[in-house]
């Protein structure tokens, strides 16, 4: 094993691998390395805080654990049909990260400053989920691929933001709320209709569109004056507009 530039204590070699141990100023530093089909283990302690590192290769799992300033840091990685797990803790807030390859799910969770941040991702026929919370406001994001729906929800400053998207024969839905005014957007593809609704400053704005052999409808309202526009394609065309309350 390579020296870390520190005083070595009790180095040993064996037919199974290499073992390295080092101690400094009352803080225990342990380094163990195994080669030739054996696992690799690394442990380090500095300033009363424990640092643990474990690594396994050659069909074995990979494990990494680290502790800094009383906060725990955990990292685990598995290759060759094994799962991948990562967990990290900073400043009293828990950070969790898990990743699975080869038909496994991917999970990520993070917590910062008392606010919870959650991120989950699934691959290989699984869904994708993302959730984030900031400053007491909840942020939710969900995404599904491979015939699954896509959902997105966001909340900021007491205002709710919702976004939903569906692919692969599913509809597309989008909803947004800002400053007490509701904003709604819905879109459908693949023989479905398209719907859009928007409200700003107490005034309602409505937009609707239909495609795929259906009619096309558009409606808009501004400043108390109604504006209506309707168009039909194929055989019939209709246009209607109202201004100044007419």
CA distance 99 to 123: 10
What pLDDT, on the 0 to 100 scale, is given for residue 18?
42
Question: What pLDDT score does 173 carry?
Answer: 43
In the structure, how many helices (H) and strands (E) does the chain have? 0, 21
Tokens of 158: 């007491």
Q: Which residue has the tokens 């680290």?
A: 66
Tokens encoding 72: 């725990």
CB 125, CB 144: distance < 8 Å: no
Q: What H or E segment, with its residue span, contains residue 195? A: strand 193-200
Full pLDDT tens readout for the chain, 246 residues: 333 443 434 444 444 444 444 444 334 444 444 443 344 444 443 333 334 444 433 333 344 444 333 333 444 443 333 333 444 433 333 444 444 333 334 444 443 333 344 444 433 333 444 444 333 334 444 443 333 334 444 433 333 444 444 333 334 444 443 333 444 444 443 333 444 444 333 334 444 444 333 444 444 444 334 444 444 444 444 444 443 333
Q: Residue 226's pLDDT is what?
A: 45
Burial of 31 (0-12, 13-18, 19+ CB in 10 A): buried
Question: Any idea which residue has 């909803």 for tokens?
Answer: 175
Q: What is the pLDDT of residue 139?
A: 41
- pLDDT for position 143: 41
Separation CA 23–CA 40 (nearest Å) = 19
DSSP state of 8: B
In this predicted structure, what is the pLDDT of residue 67? 38
| Cα torsion 6, 12, 18, 23: sign | negative
Q: What's residue 123's pLDDT?
A: 38
Q: Please state the pTM of the whole predicted model.
A: 0.16
């Amino acid at each position: 094993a390579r020296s870390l530039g520190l005083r070595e204590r009790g180095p040993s070699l064996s037919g199974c691998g290499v073992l390295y141990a080092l101690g400094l100023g009352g803080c225990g530093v342990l380094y163990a390395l195994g080669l030739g089909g054996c696992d690799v283990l690394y442990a380090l302690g500095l300033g009363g805080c424990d640092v643990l590192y474990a690594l396994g290769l050659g069909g074995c799992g990979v494990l990494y654990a680290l502790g800094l300033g009383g906060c725990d840091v955990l990292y685990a990685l598995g290759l060759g049909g094994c799962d991948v797990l990562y967990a990290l803790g900073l400043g009293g807030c828990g950070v969790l990260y898990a990743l699975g390859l080869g038909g496994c799910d991917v999970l990520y969770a993070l917590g910062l400053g008392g606010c919870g941040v959650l991120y989950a991702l699934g691959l290989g026929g699984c869904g994708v989920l993302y959730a984030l919370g900031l400053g007491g406001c909840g942020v939710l994001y969900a995404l599904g691929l491979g015939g699954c729906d896509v959902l997105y929800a966001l909340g900021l400053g007491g205002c709710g933001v919702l976004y939903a998207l569906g692919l692969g024969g599913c509809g597309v839905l989008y909803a947004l709320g800002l400053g007490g005014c509701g904003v709604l957007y819905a879109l459908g593809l693949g023989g479905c209709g398209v719907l859009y609704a928007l409200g700003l400053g107490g005034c309602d704005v409505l937009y609707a569109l239909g495609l795929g052999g259906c009619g096309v409808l558009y409606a808009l309202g501004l400043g108390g004056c109604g504006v209506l526009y309707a168009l039909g394609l194929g055989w019939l065309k209709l246009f209607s507009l109202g201004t100044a309350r007419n």
